[in-house]
Each structure stands twice: as structure tokens, then as C-alpha cells.
Structure 1
Amino acid sequence: MVEKWEVKILMVDRLTDAKIPKIMRPLSIIYLYALYQLSWLGTTRMKVLNPLPKSKQSSVGVQVGQQFTAMCNLSRVKSESGSFNVEWERTIDGYTLERVLHHIITPNEEVFQYLTEKLKARVHGSYLNASISVLKIKPALLEDSGKYFCSINGVKSLTITLFVCKPFKDMFMDYKPKEVEGAKVSINCAAKEGYPEPDVHWIAAGNDISQNAITMMKKLPNKTYQVKSSVVVSAQKGVRYVCSIWNKYIENLLVDWVLPLPGIKVSIPYKEVTGIAGNSVELICEVFIPERDHVSIAELGLYWFNKDSNSKEHLVYSFVNEEENLIGQHPRYENRAFLYWEDFLRGSPDLKIKNVSIADMGEYICRVKDKETIIGEDILELRVAAPYSDPVMTYRRNNTTSFQDVFLICHTKGGFPLGSVTWLSSNGKDLTSRSKTVMNLSNGYFSFKSGLHVSVTEGTRFTCVISNPWLADNVSSTVTFIGD
């Protein structure tokens, strides 16, 4: 059996941003086709839908299984008797009118009549604020999609186009042939079981190439769609081809990409690096050049940048034309940042920073350029920790005649980031909840003073533990009471 597919060639506006936009703005043949269908509907089925008085119109999307709510404002209609006859109707198959709810409101009573048997269990009506007729359908099913009309005392007051949506799933991308160098490549993008028909967009190297795509929609027996889209390109080295499937009514987006012809790859294996204040730290970056690529790593330019909290980039170090280039280097890194030429030639342009401090924390970008063209980059986050000093334990007797009532004090300083204090007794019991801790911040570093009131006997031992969340090793101090 031959499968039937509906073929559409998408014609879309060029995107001004390389990123996938939140709301697509295509003026495509899909939409022109829809306008044509509506105009045809008006000329061939005039007896059913015309005349259509001017009314408030809107479109709304809900996910299948959720609740659809529509409200019809009665305050805009004058009624001398104070009575309102509200009819909620909808279209079936795009043109046949079907009653959904009849809402009768008089000064003395309020009546709801559910006129569609198959909807009766899912339709609910209400009267809000004595001026709004509310229609609710829960759960909404795919077949509930269509136009809904609200008529008040015979005058159409509201038109809502409902799209009950099912998100597409199982997105898949592939390309042929696999050996692509110097050849045309067919890239395919597919997803299944979604509703309604989505917008399909293609982006390559920041450009919208959707106008070159052929997109096919197949309607499945369960009334959902299967979508397939393909584009034929001359694969470019290092260029990703991104496919997006977008349902604008519920803002559901699926995105995937393929890289048919890999180029130079820049990657950072450790996305988070923790340095110790006052010591040196190494930021590792790897540059991979495919065997077929004739570019020598010595011909490339390597740059390390630091990105501040305002996303502004500051040059940390650069290596261009086989030599160190520090023009434009941020003063904070002067005589502190360097890499080894031998490492660069091996494809590991690892950055070394001496005497790191808290001010050095942030995002660091390893970027490789071929002349002025960025051909690859990756990013990591540098954290700088300062170990807390070994805590000093002291105590004060509250009763000079007895050694049983003691106030313990634990003090530590010079740490970063904010740590914590834990009190332990001889048998390992946590006494922290009984303590009181005061924290102080000075010159960017934290200090703690924690106190604990205890009763002791001979041989009793108490331990104060200081933890730093960025360091594995804790520091502690213990005091043991042995009597007078």
C-alpha cells in the first residue's frame, strides 16, 4: 500500500538571530494555503456560517488532556429584562455548526443545558461575577479543535479558534551519504504523533535555510501527524545543521542537529575547575584537527578570555603567529598567565594562572581562530577556594568550684566560600543544633566564631569541625577534659 504524504515547501522570513526564536514568524505557503481554504469556505458554505457578525476573535492552544476555558462577557450586551440567552456553538469538520452549551440567565434563575451528548461528561458551565458566561471542557481531546462561537441574545459576541495540541516526540536526524567531503548531503529530520501541523525550520551557520527544505506531513489513524523534512546541502566543514519542530500554540519546541563534516574541534574536558587561593591553577583545553584538514595548529590563533558578570570578555592570554601576543591583555593577568608552546603544538593549549585569588573567579573561554574567523571555542568555570585555618578551641568555666559547666568556643578564619561549623561529642553525636555561630566577612574571606554550652566529666571530648564546600578536606580541633 502506497503511503500518502502531504508535501509542503516552507517559505519563511529570514531570522535575524542565529538562535532558535521563542516565537517563529513564518509567512509561508502553509498560511497562504490556510487563507485560501478559509476564503473557499466562505463562498461554498455560506448557508452554514454566513452571515458572521463582527465579534471578538482569538486563538488559543491547550495540550491534550488539559482544560479549555472560554469566557463570554455579557456586560457588553444591553438587556432591558435583565435576561440573557447564551449559546455556545462550535464547528465540526470546519464548517458544520454544533451546539455545545445553552446558558439561560434570568433575574430569578440560571439554567445550563448541555446539548451535545458526547461532550456532556466533559463540558461544564458557570456564571462568573454575575457578568461572564464560562465554558469549560476537560479533558480536551484532539477532536475538540475548531472554532467556538458565543452568541448573546442572538448576536455573536465571541469567536475562539481552539487548537488542542499533542507535542511531537521521538525526534530523529540523519544524513546521507556518510562520506561527505566534497559531496552533496541530504539531511533528514523527523518526528511523530503530534498535532496540529508544526512549523519546521532549518538553520546552518546562523542562517535560515528553511526555504530550501521539503517538508512532508502524514496524517495517522489517531488523527496526529508524522512529519518528515529534508534539505540538500553542500556540507561545509564544521557547520552544524539544526532542525527545529515548533508548535506555536503551546510553545513546544524540539531541536536537534547533525555535523556531517567535522572541522577543528575545541573542547574543555573539565567544565569546573577549583583553584586554591595563592597557588597556581591550570585550565585545560584540547584542540583536535581532523587528519584530512590541511591546517597546521601553528597557523591558528589561540585566545583565552575571562567573562565577567556583565558578560563582557577580557583578554587573559593569546598566542598568534607562533608567538605570545599580550596586546589588550587585562592588567589583572599581567605576568600571571602563560602557556607552553610545546603544549600548543600537541593540541593542548592549557592556560596556567599563577597566584590565583577570588577576583579571578568566573567563566573562561578557550577560543581558536583562523585569522579573524572563530572556528571553535569552549567554556569552563573557575572557582577559587581558600582553606579555613585550623580552628582554635578555648573554653570558659561558668562555675569556678565545679568543672562540669563549660562554655566552648571554636574560632577559624581566612576561608572561602562560606563554610559550616559542626560540633561533635565523644561518641560522635552531633551537637551543632545547640551551638551559636557568628560569621564575619573581611576582605572577601570568611571567619567563624562558634560557641557551645556543655556539661563535662573527666575524659569528655568535644570536636569542632570546619567544612569548606569546595574542598574535600575538613579542618578540626578537639579538646579533652581530664579534670583538675
Structure 2
Amino acid sequence: MGRPLFLYIFLLYWHFLNALFTVEAPQSLFTVEQGHNVTMECTFPVNGKLEFRDLSVSWEKKDESKTVYVLHRGEEDFTNQHIDFRGRIKLLKENLNLGQSLLQITDVKLRDAGVYCCVIFYGGADYKTIHLKVKAPYRIINKGVVSTGHNEWKLTCQSEGYPEAEVIWQNRNHEDLTDKASTRFETGSDQLYRVTSTLTIKSGIDEIFYCIFWNKELQENTSTILHIADSADGILQTESRRSVGAALIATAFIGSGLLFLLCIRKARANKGNRAPVASSSIAKLSKYKDTHDCRDDAFEDRELKYLPEKMFQILTILLLETQLSMVSALFTVEIPQQLYTAEYGSNVTMECKFPVNGSVDLGLLTVVWELKRQGWLKSKEVYTFRNGKALHQPQHPDYIGRASLLHSELKLGRAILQITNVKITDAGSYLCLIAYQGVDYKYIALEVKASYKRINTQVMRIPGEDKFVFMCQSEGFPLAEVFWQNENFNLSGPANTTYTLTADGLYNVTSILTFKPNMSENYTCVFWNKELNGETSAHISTLALMSTQYTGQKFLISLIILTCVTVAVLLSALIIFQKRKSFKDEQPKKGDDFNSQTEALYLSTVTSRDSGSVGL
């Protein structure tokens, strides 16, 4: 009987220990970018010093049954490791003493995404599952702008990423043009989605369009700007310019060769057709007229002799001019970033680059920054650099003292424009034109935002009613919509929202909502800036409602309490005064009574004494 009881107690104790041994996952979901590294973690209890020979750790890709890593009784075992993970897996052993099983995967692939199982044996057994997501952002967007004639343009955006992304097209006013575009998706061996979207639209010059790759699953977006320039030069690509340069050189060579052959042929023809003039014939001519050709055969020979030299000079000049055109065609201005977004009142720097071969002669460099906006007849001169110095005369008054060019960066081929204390009116399309061994320009778009950071709130009760007036007011740019919400639903239906423009170009937005609130709920006004995809909110608690509801009652109660306290103080002072007065009045009377009693006692004593004396 004793032995079965002991075995039963031992098994019960063993299961109890297993129940106490638990594996935890501090983070159940990891999201990593393709090509980066990720470290996933699960923890287990360690009491005292860790005994490696008693520890076994196993990591598996559960959804595909792939062995990722095995540590068996303190020794690594790569026998059954799946080929997808070889050379990319590492367990950080130094953290095992702390009860941490850290699995590191390097150079993460898209196929690494899935569910991982972390199993640990150490005086007990338990496991946890961890999800791994792999993303490949659509960072680099290749774009193209092609004119198809009659003010019709074909705009193209192409990028690669994962997961599949939507492509959204917008114009300058952020109006949605997606339904007019065609988008196709392709998947390569690397599992990346190659997304190409094309928008064909009629548009004038100096227009901008936004191409946005929206990754709904990851809630991420990448955008670029396509600009329809003022002329064909603005959309002429580098490859096209090189083709034009090569065509110019070929044309120059062929034309020069043909011209050379034509001149030689003509000279030889003139020599063969020219008849010699006799001296007797010369005598018959009038002495006042020189109508004959006095060039002899020697002159023709000399002309033919020096003709190749003259043609070589002409050819050299043509080649120099062609080379100059080629250099100008190869000179291109590049922009690292096409769209800048600046906060109102902050500073912004915009950059365009130009090719530099060796040292830069600033005396030969010209840099012009201008602001152009749709509907303007004339652009604003922002900054001009010419002949090694800044020209302040043509600068527009709006930019005096605020716009500067970082001269130290010019020698590196960087024309960086800095604008301080950015204003709303600074938004627009900036032209960066550079002339140095060629001429080229690019456009950069600047957006200015003024977030509705500070929201002023006010709650007022309508006298004699149970309704309240809620008010929210703030300033910002662009124009924002205002939504009213409580904990359950939207209240924006009866709200009255108005806006005015300030002198700085900001929108002063005021929204008023009148209704009967529920005292058990909190209320929120939300300023939603659709254009910038940003929001700011302010909360109004029920305490504010209650304090507003009982403001009149609180004042009346306070007045009554103050009056009662004042009356009580006055009465107390009067009572104290009367008591002190009566106390002072009673003091002399008491003294007289004491003296009278003393005198009577003295007389009675004397009388008694005298009576005794007489008796004797």
C-alpha cells in the first residue's frame, strides 16, 4: 500500500511542477522589413543557476512544419534545420541564463513570414506561438511623363513592394483621379509585387499630379509628384538628351564630309571648264574695264592645295559647336526630393543637384530659385546667384531676409535653398534653374501646413433649458472639418461650423453644437485635416457639464453661506462685547460688598469683645 501511494504522490508532484513551468511571449507579433534582421523572444522561469545540460530549446515554423533551430540538452543540433534558414539563424545563448530564448533571423525574406513556435524543456515543458510579418515598402517610384499631343499627357508610376498596394492618383487640388487610371500587378520569383499604374489625362502646362502607393494592410503610403513642365525641355529625359547629342555629332560628321567632297568636286570642275585667256585678247579690251579672270593655273592649284586645310578648320568649328551642344545636353539637374512639407513658422531646406567635374568656378555658375503658382502671370524671384555673388535686387520682398543659399555646398554640386519662418504663402512650385557648362532646371513642390494644435473649448448652459452650447475653436491650414462625437456615435449633424481667414492666411475655424447631453458620457470635437491626413481632438468631460449646470446654484449657495457666516461673526462679536461690558460693571459692586461684609464682621467682633470686658 505504501509503494503505490508514494508513486501516486510523485506523479502528482511532477504534474504540479509542469503546471508551474510556463513559457511566455512578451511580444506576439513582429513586423520586419525585407532584408533586415529580426529577433523574436520567448521567456521561461530559471531558479538559480541555469543547468545547460537540462535545457532544450526548439524553434519551428509551425504553418509549414520547418525546423528553424534546435538546442538539445545544451548542444546545438543543425541536422534537421530547414535549408531556408541555414546560415541565417542564431540563438543568443548569453541570454539563456536570464530565462530568455532570443532567436535572431538575418536578411529576412518574404517567405519567412508566418507562425513560429517556441518550445522549451527545462524541468517542465511549455510553448508559445509568435507571428512574423514581412513587408517591403514601395520606397522607390519610377515615373514618366509623355506628351501624346493635343494637351494630352500619359503619366506612369511603377514600383515594387509587398504586400500588394493600391495606387491613388490626385491632382494639384487633391481631387481623386484613380478611376481614370489603369493599374496592373505582376509577381516575380522574389514574391514582390511589381505595380504599374498609368493615367492619361488632358492638362495644361505647369501642372502637378500626385501618385500615391497605399499599402492598406500595413497602413503605409509612399508618394511622388509628376510635373508637367512649361516646355518640352522640362520633360526631356537624360537618355533622350544623350540621343540628341549623339545625333548632333553624327549629323556634323556626315554634313562636314559631304560639304568637303562637294567643294573639291566644284573646284575641279571650275578648273576643267576655265579657258586660258590670250595676251592679244587682253589688249583689245578697254583699259577702263577689267572683266576677265586673271587667275592662272597656279592659283587653281594653290586653291586646291589649301582647300583641305580650310575644310578642316570648318569641320573643327562644327565639332566644337556640336561638343558644346552635347555637353549642354548631358548637363542635367537632379532633385533628391520632389515634395517638401513644412510646418508653419518653421524652417525648410530644398535641394537640387548639378554635375561637377573637378573644382567649381563660382564665377561661371548661375543659380536661380523662383516660386511659380497656377494663375500667376509672373513668378516670384526667391534667390539669384550669379558671377560668384548673390543678387538682391530682383528678390521679391516676401523673401528678403528669409531666403538664403548655402554657398558652401555649391562646390559639391548642391544648390540648397533655405527659407526661414515659413509662411502659408510660401507654398507652391519652386523652379531650380542652374547654368554651368550647360543649362537645366527642375521643379520642387512645397506644401505648408499649420496643425490645429491648440483647441479652445467652452461649454455654456442655455438659461431656463436643459440644453447646452458646446464650442470648439482653433486656427490652422489647410481648412479642416470638425466632427463631434460622444462615446457611442457621431453628433456632427446639428453642428454649426464657420471659418474666417486671418491676416497670416490661417483658417480660424469655430464649431458650435447645441443639444441636451447625457451626463454619464464624455464628448469630443475632432479637427480633421483631410488634405494632410491629420487630426487633433479636444475632450469635454462630464465634470465640465456638471460645473456648468450648477454654476447659478453654486453662486446662490455661496452667497447664503457667506451671509450666514457674516451674521454669525457679528452676533458672536456683539455677545462677546456685552459679556465683557457686564463683567467690568460687576467688578466694583463685588468690591463694595466685600468691604461691607468685612466691616460688619469687624464691628461684631469689637462689640463682642467690649461685652466681655464689661462682664468682668
Same fold? TM cut 0.5 = no
Q: TM-score, normalised by structure 2?
A: 0.34
Q: TM-score, normalised by structure 1?
A: 0.43
The structure where strand makes up a greater share of residues is 1
Q: Relative CO higher for 1 or 2, CA cutoff 8 Å, sep ≥ 6?
A: 1
